[in-house]
């Protein structure tokens, strides 16, 4: 039984689809996920290793600043439509799951025209254009942030779920830090901060963290710092017994196991993982994110008490020092933020979404 997954361009759109696909296969081994992505996106590197069938299409975004190049978008869309149609004819999908990005838009349009039931998974507080447009035609919408609901216009038949973002669930002993600290060579005393600017790292965050370390770390603080590969060489010399510098951390769970709090971007998947692990965060939203959705995510987390937000324009050595000092010197605050993070956590999101998709497929067959 085939299920199309459409979404990509970035990891934030692709990895939720992979998590749901794995949960579907676990719940029903007869499900055969088939991924539709773009040759230009991260999926060209990830999907060949993921273990699922896939097709990469010559898709392009809308060139808003260079509209004369939109002929590429039109040409790619026409060719992609024919490829999607051919796949659907060869073995019709039971449903389509869209997780965002321009690859999702075309597959969802095909599903709408051909009356194939489809499911949306929206990761962010402020939904993307794909989710906003197609929510009215969807059978189900699964929200990563409940705050996204007000931006959508689902039909009366559409079921909307506050499912959370689908991630790899933390282990039952996620709150026990001793083993995690030992792996990094840290003692049980003191606090551990994870610095994580996303899979590519953040130069803006890295520059401030480097200057802050130069001024001298608090005596009871230890750091796991993921710089991103592009920044690693110039920052590697900061590594010592108290600061562990890595270009990239995989699996990231090795860092979560040790961290008491984090300095992080406000991407939907990263913050979902932090909440699931009960890790309070100082979030620095990426100002260039589409529709400024990271700021919306950060505001929602801050309002709930799970995080403290600092805008990138306000991120300085002094503002970072004040935020970290607050985490270290106010243990009750840190405990409260951890509780609020866990309240927002949806560690079983992938399994919950898979269960509802299987229910949709079953009802459609009747």
Residue range 34-57: mean pLDDT, rounded: 90
Segment 140-154 mean pLDDT: 94
**Is 54:36 a contact under the CB 8 Å cutoff?**
yes
Q: What average pLDDT score do residues 211-233 get?
A: 95
Residues 91 and 187 in one domain: no
Biggest distance spanned by C-alpha atoms of the chain: 67
Q: How far apart are CA 140 and CA 195, in angstroms?
A: 36
* Same structural domain, 185 and 143: no
Q: Comparing 80-84, 230-234, 236-240, 335-339, which segment has the lowest mean pLDDT? A: 80-84
What is the tens place of the pLDDT at every residue in 267-300?
Answer: 999 999 999 999 999 999 999 887 788 999 999 9
Token duo for residue 263: 């300095």
- Tokens (6 digits) for 78: 């026409």
Given this model, what pLDDT does residue 247 score?
94
Domain match, 60 and 159 both:
yes
> SS3 letters for the chain?
CEEEEEECCCHHHHHHHHHHHHHHHHHCCCCEEEEEEECCCCHHHHHHHHCCEEEEECCCCCCCCCHHHHHHHHHHHHHHHHHHHHHHHHCCCCEEEEEECHHHHHHHHHHHHCCCCEEEEECCCCCCHHHHHHCCCCCEEEECCHHHHHHCCCCCCCEEECCCCCCCCCCCCCCCCHHHHHHHCCCCCCEEEEEECCCCCCHHHHHHHHHHHHCCCCCCEEEEEECCHHHHHHHHHHCCCCEEEECCCCCCHHHHCCCCEEEECCCHHHHHHHHHCCCCEEECCCCCCHHHHHHHHHHHHHHHCCEEECCHHHCCHHHHHHHHHHHHHCHHHHHHHHHHHHHHCCCCHHHHHHHHHHHHHHHHHC
Whether residue 147 sits in one domain with residue 102:
yes
User: Do residue 81 and residue 210 come from a single domain?
Assistant: no
Shared-domain flag, residues 161 and 186: no
What is the pLDDT at residue 84? 92
Looking up residue 42, the CATH number of its domain turns out to be: 3.40.50.2000
327 and 207 in a single domain? The answer is yes
| % of the chain residues with pLDDT over 90 | 76
Listing from the earlier edge strand, what are the strands of the sheet with 281-283? 243-246, 221-226, 191-196, 261-264, 281-283, 307-309
Q: How many domains does the chain have?
A: 2
Tell me the pLDDT of the chain averaged across its residues: 92
Q: What is the dihedral of CA 27, 31, 32, 34, to 10 degrees?
A: -80
Phi/psi at 161 (nearest 5 deg)?
A: -120, 135
Q: What is the mean pLDDT of residues 328-348?
A: 94
Same domain, 87 and 14: yes
Write the pLDDT tens digit of every residue in 341-363. Answer: 999 999 999 999 999 999 999 99
Residue 122 shares a structural domain with residue 205: no
- The average pLDDT across 257-261 equals 97
One domain for residues 193 and 110: no
Q: Residue 8: pLDDT above 90?
A: no
Q: Are residues 148 and 196 in the same domain?
A: no
Task: Specify the pLDDT at position 250.
Answer: 81
Based on the fold, state whether residues 235 and 158 are members of the same structural domain.
Answer: no
Q: Which structural domain, as residue segments, surrounds residue 112?
A: 2-169+348-365
DSSP lists the bridge partners of residue 57 as: 38
Burial 154-173 (b: 16+ CB within 10 A, else e): beeebebbebbbbbebbeee
Of the given ranges (112-121, 167-176, 222-231), which has the lowest mean pLDDT?
A: 167-176
Instruction: Give the CA distances from residue 348 to residues 169, 259, 354, in Å, rounded to whole numbers and listed in that order.
Output: 6, 21, 10
pLDDT at 74 over 80: no
Per-residue pLDDT tens digits for 167-202: 988 988 988 999 999 999 999 989 999 999 987 889
What's the pLDDT score for residue 60?
67
Enter the pTM of the model: 0.85
């Amino acid at each position: 039984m085939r299920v199309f997954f459409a979404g990509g361009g970035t990891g934030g759109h692709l990895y939720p689809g992979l998590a749901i696909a794995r949960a579907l296969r676990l719940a029903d081994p007869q499900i055969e996920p088939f991924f539709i992505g773009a040759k230009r996106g991260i999926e060209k590197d990830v999907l060949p290793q993921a273990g699922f069938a896939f097709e990469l299409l010559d898709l392009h975004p809308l060139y808003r600043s260079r509209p004369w190049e939109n002929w590429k978008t039109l040409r790619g869309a026409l060719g992609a439509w024919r490829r999607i149609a051919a796949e659907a004819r060869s073995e019709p999908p039971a449903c389509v799951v869209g997780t965002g990005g321009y690859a999702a838009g075309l597959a969802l349009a095909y599903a709408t025209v051909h009356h194939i039931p489809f499911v949306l998974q929206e990761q962010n507080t402020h939904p993307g254009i794909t989710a906003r447009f197609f929510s009215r035609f969807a059978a189900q919408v699964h929200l990563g942030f409940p705050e996204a609901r007000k931006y959508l216009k689902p039909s009366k038949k559409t079921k909307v779920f506050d499912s959370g973002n689908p991630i790899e669930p933390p282990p039952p002993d996620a709150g026990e830090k001793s083993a995690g600290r030992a792996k990094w060579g840290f003692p049980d005393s003191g606090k551990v901060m994870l610095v994580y600017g996303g899979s590519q790292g953040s130069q803006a965050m890295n520059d401030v963290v480097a200057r802050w370390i130069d001024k001298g770390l608090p005596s009871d603080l230890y750091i796991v710092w993921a710089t991103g590969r592009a920044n690693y060489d110039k920052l590697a010399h900061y590594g010592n017994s108290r600061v562990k510098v890595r270009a990239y951390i995989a699996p990231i769970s090795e860092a979560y196991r040790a961290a008491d709090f984090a300095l992080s971007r406000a991407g939907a998947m990263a913050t979902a993982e932090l909440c699931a692990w009960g890790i309070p965060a100082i979030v620095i939203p990426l100002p260039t994110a589409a529709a400024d959705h990271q700021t919306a995510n950060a505001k929602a987390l801050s309002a709930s008490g799970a995080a403290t937000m600092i805008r990138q324009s306000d991120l300085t050595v002094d503002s970072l020092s004040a935020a970290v000092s607050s985490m270290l010197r106010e243990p009750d605050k840190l405990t409260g933020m951890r509780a609020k993070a866990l309240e927002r956590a949806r560690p079983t999101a992938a399994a919950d979404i898979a269960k509802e998709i299987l229910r949709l497929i079953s009802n459609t067959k009747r």
